[in-house]
Amino acid sequence: MTTQRDPNQVVIFDTTLRDGEQCPGATMNLHEKLEVARQLARLRVDVIEAGFPIASPGDYEAVRAIAEAVQGPTIAALARIKEADIERAGKAIEPAARRRIHTFSSGSDIHLEAMMRMTRAKNIEKSVAAVTFARSFTDDVEYSAQDTTRSDRSYLVDLYTAVAEAGATTLNVPDTVGYASPEEFGDLIAFLVASVKVPGVIFSVHCHNDLGLAVANSLAAVKAGARQVECTINGIGERAGNCSLEEVVMAMRTRGDAYQVFTGINTREIIRSSRLVSRMTGMVVQRNKAIVGANAFAHESGIHQDGMLKNRETYEIMVPEDVGLSGTELVLGKHSGRHALTNHLTQMGFTLSDEEMGRVYDAFKELCDKKKVVYDDDLIALVQDQSSDMPQVYQLGTVQVTTGTRAVPTATVTLRRDSEEMTDAACGDGPVDATFRVIDRITGVEGTLEDFSLQAITKGEDAVGEVSVRVRYGDSVINAKGSSTDIVEASAKAYINALNRYLFLKSHHELKEEQDVTVAEQP
Ligand code: KIV
Ligand code: ZN
């Protein structure tokens, strides 16, 4: 069971791979989910909610693979209050040393009547039966009633008391629609903690960010006695997302005086976790996002810079190193050997196979030819580019563009598929458009670009640029990224990554749309 060692410890329950993955376009395949889960273990989250096994065979396999491979955190699987869901969840988490079933129903009349078509009494009866059944698979069972912030409080007391008496060890209180204000939510948690008189249970909260209040609501809940917070890396999730892990954790740490609690999170892994999730989901992190945005620790104005030089504490409430941003960024260059690179990457926390290391070293040497100074952030992008074990159906060979004030932008692209090389050329509205058109022509798969953005990963004119694309293939929307010192090359890589991801998901029938319609609705 996920034991809370100290009454002031807040359990961090990460749902990036379940609620986070539910947001449009953020679908990850099994390999990507495994990479994220391994990173979450390095971040030392207490619980990883690995998925919703009944939703699709792909979800089941991913949860099972994570339960087999990832050591440390408790592995949780989501299940409705149905026997088939619970059985599937129980089977998926079987290989994990610590395992949890998270079963959920609803608390509000609008959900019970309109969606579940159930009376309040029937809901209690079925929830109790579900918890009892879940306990036959594990002694760590979490129960959630969706939409608590629009539910009748005295009914919530009856419901939570009944499931706790049936063996639920964590009682999760979701603000499913992101409706609560911090004052109200804190009050609701204090009321439930005082009214549900079953010893030993942990109260948990799960806040959505529709009004931008998910972190504030979670913190208010902690003040009122909640000792588990459900959150996601970069705050990704349904609609406006979930409570952001990095924000809630750093708030509790930086303002320990105000909250009087602590977490077991290794905060130095925060930046790496954020970048990895952004890369795997293709969801860009806004520059001014607290803690992990590119500007979060940048001091631009003269007065601020002056103060910082005299004493960092004048304008800095957190040390960048605490979240994993290294102060000494200049690392390696053209003359660094493979050994030095391996050592540095190990110090940064990467464990790469010999084959991955070979690819990373070749890419590093190529980067050194284009860029004088290689920063840690460049290395992170490079490792993440080279170490993904998702099958690459197409690979970029070369891309050349001709453009100018009077010339029609033309791109010539060579792609590789197994040992075959294919070259073609096309014109477009601009060099990037022309490049995407050639890729469509060579592969015979037509994508529609829905979103495109470019961010410089590091400083300077020779900075590595990271391109994020959102591409539609029929009914499916795929996010992907690519990086290079050359913008057109970065764009081509991102577009090819989107295509490879689409082809992979299609061949494994893992597309979200199919899951949603054919097997189970997502909560
Ligand atoms: O938002 C929600 O209510 C959920 C539950 C399944 C916890 O995601
Ligand atoms: Zn949710």
Which domains does the chain possess? 11-288 (3.20.20.70), 297-325 (no CATH), 338-386 (no CATH), 395-507 (3.30.160.270)
Proportion of the chain above pLDDT 70, given as a percent: 91
| Ligand 1 contact via 19 beta carbon (within 6 Å) | yes
Q: Which of 176, 218, 229 has most ligand 1 atoms within 8 Å of CB, for mutation?
A: 176
| Environment of ion ligand 2 (residues, CB < 5 A) | 19
Judge whether residue 305 has pLDDT over 70.
no
Concatenated DSSP letters for 351-375? ---HHHHHHHHHHHHHHHHH-S-EE
DSSP secondary-structure letter at 157? H
Compute CA distances 33 → 98, 220, 266, 435, 436, whole Å. 19, 31, 20, 30, 28
Query: From the CA of 323, how far away is ligand 1's center (Å)?
Result: 28
Per-residue pLDDT reduced to its tens digit, 441-492: 999 999 999 989 888 776 677 778 889 898 999 888 888 888 888 999 999 9
| Helix orientation angle between 338-347 and 354-370, rounded to the nearest 10 degrees | 110
Judge whether residue 183 has pLDDT over 50.
yes
Q: Which of 42-51, 121-130, 500-509 has the lowest mean pLDDT?
A: 500-509
Residue 472: predicted pLDDT: 92
Structure tokens of 44?
A: 């030392």
Q: Which of 49, 146, 238 has most ligand 1 atoms within 8 Å of CB, for mutation?
A: 146
- Beginning with the edge strand found earlier in the chain, give each strand of the sheet holding 448-456 in spatial order: 448-456, 465-473, 476-484
* pLDDT band (50, 70, 90) for residue 89: very high
Name the residue at shortest CA distance from atom 1 of ligand 1. Answer: 176
Q: What angle do CA 42, 144, 30 make, to 5 degrees?
A: 40
183 burial (CB, 10 Å; 0-12 / 13-18 / 19+) is: exposed
Name the residue at shortest CA distance from atom 6 of ligand 1. Answer: 523
Residue 511: predicted pLDDT: 47
Judge whether residue 283 has pLDDT over 70.
yes
Distance of CA 197 to the CA centre of its chain: 35
- Tell me the average pLDDT across 190-213: 98
Judge whether residue 281 has pLDDT over 80.
yes
Contact 59/17 with Cβ under 8 angstroms? Answer: no
Range 114-120, long-range pairs (CB < 8 A, 24+ positions): 120/155, 120/159
Contact 235/223 with Cβ under 8 angstroms? Answer: no
Q: Which of 141-155, 214-228, 284-298 has the lowest mean pLDDT?
A: 284-298
Residue type, 345: L
102 burial (CB, 10 Å; 0-12 / 13-18 / 19+) is: buried
- Residues 475, 110: Cα–Cα separation, whole Å: 31
- Residue 21: HSE in the Cβ half-sphere, 13 Å Cα cutoff: 31
Residue carrying the six token digits 């190193």 = 321
- If one compares 518 and 442, the residue with the highest pLDDT of the two is 442
| Ligand 1 contact via 146 beta carbon (within 6 Å) | yes
Contact 77/49 with Cβ under 8 angstroms? Answer: yes
Query: From the CA of 22, how far away is ligand 2's center (Å)?
Result: 9
Residue 516: predicted pLDDT: 37
Q: Which of 87-101, 106-120, 290-304, 486-500 has the lowest mean pLDDT?
A: 290-304
- Residues 371, 159: Cα–Cα separation, whole Å: 61
Residue 455: predicted pLDDT: 81
Positive or negative, the Cα torsion across 360, 365, 370, 376? positive
| Ligand 1 contact via 144 beta carbon (within 6 Å) | yes
Per-residue pLDDT reduced to its tens digit, 322-369: 998 865 444 577 777 888 888 888 777 677 888 888 888 988 888 888
Torsion region of 44: left, alpha or beta (phi above 0 gives left; psi -120 to 50 gives alpha): left
Judge whether residue 75 has pLDDT over 90.
yes
Compute CA distances 523 → 110, 178, 281, 384, whole Å. 15, 14, 20, 31
Judge whether residue 317 has pLDDT over 90.
no
Query: From the CA of 76, how far away is ligand 2's center (Å)?
Result: 14
- Tell me the average pLDDT across 154-183: 98
Per-residue pLDDT reduced to its tens digit, 405-414: 778 999 999 9
Q: Which of 19, 22, 81, 151 has most ligand 1 atoms within 8 Å of CB, for mutation?
A: 19
Question: Per residue in 185-221, is it b (16+ CB within 10 Å) or e — as a string?
Answer: bbbbbbebbeebeeeebbbbbbbbbbeebbbbbbbbb
Query: From the CA of 242, how far away is ligand 2's center (Å)?
Result: 7
Structure tokens of 270?
A: 């925060």
Range 330-334, long-range pairs (CB < 8 A, 24+ positions): 330/373, 330/375, 331/374, 331/375, 331/376, 331/379, 332/364, 332/368, 332/374, 332/379, 333/368, 333/372, 333/373, 333/374, 334/365, 334/368, 334/369
* Nearest ligand to residue 236 Cα: 2
- Residues 447, 436: Cα–Cα separation, whole Å: 8
Residue 422: predicted pLDDT: 96
514 burial (CB, 10 Å; 0-12 / 13-18 / 19+) is: middle
Ligand 1 atom closest to residue 172's alpha carbon, by position in its atom list:
7
Ligand 1 atom closest to residue 230's alpha carbon, by position in its atom list:
7
Ligand 1 atom closest to residue 144's alpha carbon, by position in its atom list:
7
Structure tokens of 326?
A: 């290294």
Identify which of 267-281, 297-311, 322-336, 343-357 has the greatest average pLDDT. Answer: 267-281
* Nearest ligand to residue 76 Cα: 1
Structure tokens of 289?
A: 């996002």
Residue 519: predicted pLDDT: 40
Judge whether residue 41 has pLDDT over 70.
yes
Residue 273: predicted pLDDT: 94
Query: From the CA of 391, how far away is ligand 1's center (Å)?
Result: 32
Query: From the CA of 206, how far away is ligand 1's center (Å)?
Result: 7
